[in-house]
Each structure stands twice: as structure tokens, then as C-alpha cells.
Chain A
Amino acid sequence: MAHVRRPGNRKNVKKGFQFTLMVVGASGLGRTTFINTLCDAEVVPKRECDEPEMAHIEEGIKIKPYTVELDEDGIKISLTVVDTPGFGDMIDNEYCFQEILGYLEQQYDDILSEESRIKRNRRFRDNRVHALLYFIAPTGHSLREIDIELMKRLSPRINVIPVIGKSDTLTPGELADFKKRVMEDIAHHKIPIYNFPYDPEEDDDETVEENSELRSLLPFALIGCEEEVTVNGRKVRGRQYPWGIVEVDNPQHCDFVKLRYALLSSHFQDLKEITHDYLYENYRTEKLSRITDSASDNDSNEEDEHSRLKEEQFKKEEGKLKEIEDRVQRELKEKQQELWSKEQQLMSLEAAQVQVQ
């Protein structure tokens, strides 16, 4: 697949970079297949056919990260995909939201405590999730309660991008109507999803056009497929039905290609920046003000912990200063010695000269 390289307004990082994507949706919406289609490899193993006696057992949601090394047009990407099997499968799904939120906030907590250290670990792995793809069922109506709840609760912590799973079950007319209704629903409930933001005044025409096109495609209609079929003599990734073949990489059939390009080439930087500069900062502020609030209320453990941390930091800083002082003294002594020996040399030379004359 050829990607157009844009000179100037994108950073060409040849060294490679890291991107973390979470995928959420009820089972059977094509989530796992999508991950494998995106990475062009069987990253997530196919769901095993369990025994029939397992069907009624409610397993609850699991959080499973997988890391893949991809190569996009020479640019190396270390992509971590976090799968969430079990979401929405139980009779009561309240618990699912908390699990996912807990995972996202855990990554933020890890960064927060790492940042507070004096001596930071250079090889510390940033596991923050930069984008969440939420799979909507292709009902053709509008959003379900679970869809609204999930997007509302998670969008303060992560860039949420809604997508339609198994979208080949909708005709083009139905798809257009459905997309429109979903976006109206999202606007009505004031859900702040990631909608490829741009500024018509500040950004250049190309960016405005690109972003508004991507925005108009929301929610992205997806089809996933790992198998190849033959169409007109060429091999493509697609699904073979008795009435025709749906091609995954054909932009006329679904929005997979456009989404992939946005996630892995054109917009990953933006997603990472928003995660760090905005979402993480908000979380940090909220969390720290919670700590100071509870500290000022009473003698809580947190206050002790906090002042202990401060003391530790102070000691460390003192230690460092002393180290520097010692080093400077040593160097000074060494230099003095050098100077003294040079002086001696000079004096003996002078003495020698006098003797010669």
C-alpha cells in the first residue's frame, strides 16, 4: 500500500515510534478480526471453540495487550493493541466500564509517579493508551444505552473514535442514515469524541480538507477479514458471499483503509499529543487536587505519604549537591597540583639555563 509522504507538516521520524490503541466492543462485532486485519497478521488468536457448556458462563471483561512491530513505508511503528474480550457479554454489564477506566487510569498513575521521581528511569515504558476504537453494532437505528454510557464515561480519559463493526450488513443508503443518526446522538448527548480537530483559520488548506473528510466519515464503517479471495484474477483480502465479494481494502466497500492511514500515518501524532497535553494533564490535575484536598481536610495517610516523599526528595537533592561539591573540590586540587608541578618544571629549567650561561 502506498502512503503519500507529506513534506513539512509531519515529523518524519526514521527512528520509529510507539502507539497504543485500545479496541472495545461486544463480542461478535468483528473486533478481533479487525485487529488482525490492521496488523496484517494473526496477532490475536482466533477465539477457540469452547465446549458448549461454556456458553452460559459469564466470564467478565479481560484486558489483553498485544505488541506488534509494523513497518509503514519505511517508518517503524511499535504498535500495542489492547483487546477487551468479554465487554457487554454479561447480563449485567455495569462492571465493564469500571474495568476499562481502571486500566486507563492505571497507566496515567504510573506516569505520574515516574514523573515525581528524581532519578527517572530512561527506559520507562509509556503504556498510556492514545486512542480507543469503540465498535457499534450495525443496527441501522441509533446508539444503544451501553454505547452512550461507554463513550460518555471514557471520553474524559481517552480519545474515543466510534466505528461500525460488520458494516457489510448495511446497504449504502442504510449506512449513510445510520452514520448521520449516530453522530446526531453523539452531539445530543455532548460526548466529546475525537473528531479530527482543525482550525479553518490557522491550519493550511490541505490539513483542513483532510480533517474534514475524515470527520465526515465518522463513525468509520469497518469490515475485517484475514483471508484472501480472488477477484478478477487478483488476490485481495475479502469476504465471499453467494451474492458477491466484499473487499476490505476497497474504499468503496468500507472505511478501513482511511482509518488505518489516519491511525498509523497521519494522525497518530495528534492523538498522542492530545493524550499527553490534554487528557493526561486533566487527570493529573484532578488527582493531585484530590490529594491536596484530602490532606488539608485531616491528618490522612496521604498527607504523611506526601511529606515523606518530599523529605526523601529533599535528601536526595542534598546528596546530589554534596556530590557535585566534592567533585569540584577534587578537580580544583588536581588543577592546583598540575600548576605546582608545572611551576617546579619552569623553575628547574630556569636554573638550568642560568648554569649554562
Chain B
Amino acid sequence: MSVDAESTQPILQSYVGFDSITSQIEKKLLKRGFQFNVMVVGQSGLGKSTLINTIFASHLIDSKGRTQPDEPTRQTVEIHSFTETIVERGVKLRLNIVDTPGYGDQVNNENCWEPIIKYIKDQHSSFLRKELTAMRDRFIQDTRIHCCLFFISPTGHSLKPIDIVVLKKLTEVVNVVPVIAKSDSLTIEERIAFKHRIKEEMAFHNIKLYPYESDEDDEQDSALNESIQDLIPFAVVGSEKTIVVDGKTVRGRQNRWGVINVENENHCEFIHLRNFLTRTHLQDLIETTSLIHYESFRSKQLLALKENGQQQQQQH
């Protein structure tokens, strides 16, 4: 029927009750719990572990920094993954944090991004394999990286050559959210100028950052996405320590010249990042990973397999 659905929508004579499907779904999902995989990439000493612990308000991971003199410096990038389940008002979140110690720390950092890209692709690959198996699990455990937090050093100048190379490669395979680490070393003016430079450079190199534009977005979504895009990269400060400010206990850093309140919007953009990741875009991050990045990986793989198959047939 090519008639417009709206004009022929039947009017219900009495209450059916299918509107409760949302709570039926919620119940099921609550039982199952949610899975969120986040990766952190950046030079050592930029506060990556501290930021994760600050966002999720709990001590989840330890810093991998070199603290003992007899500890050797890492010669390659390692991939460390931790899983913790956190619960908030009955909602279970299985959080998988992937740390990448050693990135950008050597004198020669040529190809230091390869282990990271490989890891991301491996997760897509293992998911695809599980999907294609004849006897597959009912719910395939999702280890695909939903979000990659990329830490930019607060130089105040511009992106480094290595940042640009890595951002280009990462944005092709995963949702990338750039943050300016330890932004308490920049004054407000410096921060504004720095962000402006970074945005220019990313635009010049056509680096596609999350959130992506979508046809499905309504006005509200677009407005929200635009405001996020304006803020990116988030200038953040992390802290697990609490300080008392005006009688209130807040997370912050205490110096001889003042107190930095992590949750104060005038001090840094931590609140915006936290809300973005957990309160507004958590579900979207998971969905885009599946619908965009995984799909693109999947189609490339299957096409390649098909070509391989055809070549082999021709050989016979």
C-alpha cells in the first residue's frame, strides 16, 4: 500500500498495553547488564589512569608509570586490559578498560601505534568469527572498543606529528574522543587558543571525530552533537583526592596558590566529558561501534573472503 501510514493509522478503541514493551526490555536488559569497552591512548604521565578513575568515581586502574629507578623503560607498546563491574541503582555496567602503556615514550616512536590498531581490529575479527560460527553463543561477548580516549599533551602550541599520524589511523577503526590532559597547566586564554589550533589541524587532515552526523538525528540530537563538537577536545583535570571547598567535599587538586575543583565548570571541562560519556552518549557509542566501525570491518573482510574463494575456484 503506498498510502501514507500516518493518515490511515487506526485509532485504538481501548487500552492494549503494548506500551509496556519499553519496561519489558528494560527488565531484560537490567538482568543482562551492559558492557562498555574504553581504551586510553597517550604518552605516559598525562593522567590517563587518574582520569578513568575520576570519570567512574572509583579506583579501577593503577597508573603504569615508571616509578622505580631499576624499572626499565618500556621498549614497545603493551596492551593491558582490566574488567570491573560497577553497579548504580540496580544497573550493572561491565566496564573493560584497555590501557596502552609505552605509547609515545621511546626515543624512536616509529610504528608505536601498530599494536594498538591491531588490538582494535582483532576484537572486530574475533566478534566476526563468533558471529559466523554455525553454533554460536546466544549473546556474543562484546570486546569491541566502543570509545578511544586520545590524550593530547598540554603544550599550548599544536598537535605533534605523531598525534596526527595516530589520530588518522585510529579514527578509521574506532570512535575517538580527544582530550587535553592536565589542562591545569594552561590559562583560559591559552586553552582557547590551543583548542582552536587543534580543531584547525584536525579539519585540515580530515580527521573524523565522534560524534558523527547521522540522518536519524532529530533537532535535539543535532543541537547536542553540535555543542559537543564545539567543546572537543575536552580540557580535563583528573583527581581521586577530595578537598573541602566552602564546606563541600569535592574532588580536586590543592596548590599553594589555589584549589582546582575538578567538578567546577569554570576550572575544567571534566563534567562535560563525564556527562557526554556516561549520561548522554553511552548507548550511542556502543551502537555506532557496531553499526559503523564493525560493519565496515565486516564488509571488507567478507568481500576479501569472497575474492579469495573466487580466486581459488578459478585455480581449480
Residues of A near any B CB (own CB < 8 A)? 26-29, 47, 49-50, 52-58, 89-94, 137-146, 148-149, 166, 168-169, 171-172, 181, 184-185, 187-189, 239-247, 252-253
Closest to A227 in B: B187
A53 to B45, CA, bound (A): 28
| A184-B69, A243-B260 known; A141-B45 Cβ under 8 A | yes
Q: Can you list 30 pairs linking A and B with CB atoms under 8 Å apart?
A: A26-B155, A28-B153, A52-B197, A52-B200, A53-B204, A90-B161, A91-B161, A93-B107, A137-B153, A138-B182, A139-B46, A139-B65, A140-B45, A142-B65, A144-B44, A144-B73, A144-B105, A146-B107, A149-B107, A166-B185, A168-B257, A169-B184, A171-B255, A172-B255, A184-B69, A243-B259, A244-B255, A244-B259, A245-B258, A253-B257
A187 to B70, CA, bound (A): 11
A185 touching B69, Cβ below 8 Å: yes
Closest to B68 in A: A142
- Best-surrounded residue of B63, B71, B185, B197 (most CB of chain A within 10 A): B185
State the majority secondary structure of interface residues on B. loop
A139 touching B44, Cβ below 8 Å: yes
B109 touching A171, Cβ below 8 Å: no
Closest to B65 in A: A141
Which residues of B lie under 8 Å from residue A28 when comparing CB positions?
153-157
A137 touching B45, Cβ below 8 Å: yes
A243 to B246, CA, bound (A): 14
Report if B164 contacts A (CB, 8 A). Answer: yes
Range of interface residues on B (Cβ < 8 Å): 35 or more
| A169-B182, A241-B258, A242-B267 known; A141-B67 Cβ under 8 A | yes
Report if B108 contacts A (CB, 8 A). Answer: yes
Closest to A223 in B: B185
A146 to B44, CA, bound (A): 13
Residues of B near any A CB (own CB < 8 A)? 44-46, 63, 65-71, 73, 105-110, 153-162, 164-165, 182, 184-185, 187-188, 197, 200-201, 203-205, 253-261, 264, 266-267
B267 touching A243, Cβ below 8 Å: yes
Which residues of B lie under 8 Å from residue A89 when comparing CB positions?
160-161
A55 touching B261, Cβ below 8 Å: no
Partner pick for A142 among B66, B155, B188, CB 8 A cutoff: B66
Partner pick for A57 among B71, B161, B256, CB 8 A cutoff: B161
Which residues of A lie under 8 Å from residue B155 when comparing CB positions?
26-29
Closest chain B CB from A18 CB (angstroms): 32
Partner pick for A27 among B109, B157, B261, CB 8 A cutoff: B157
Which residues of A lie under 8 Å from residue B259 when comparing CB positions?
243-244
Which residues of B lie under 8 Å from residue A253 when comparing CB positions?
256-257
A55 touching B108, Cβ below 8 Å: no
A26 to B257, CA, bound (A): 27
Closest to A225 in B: B187
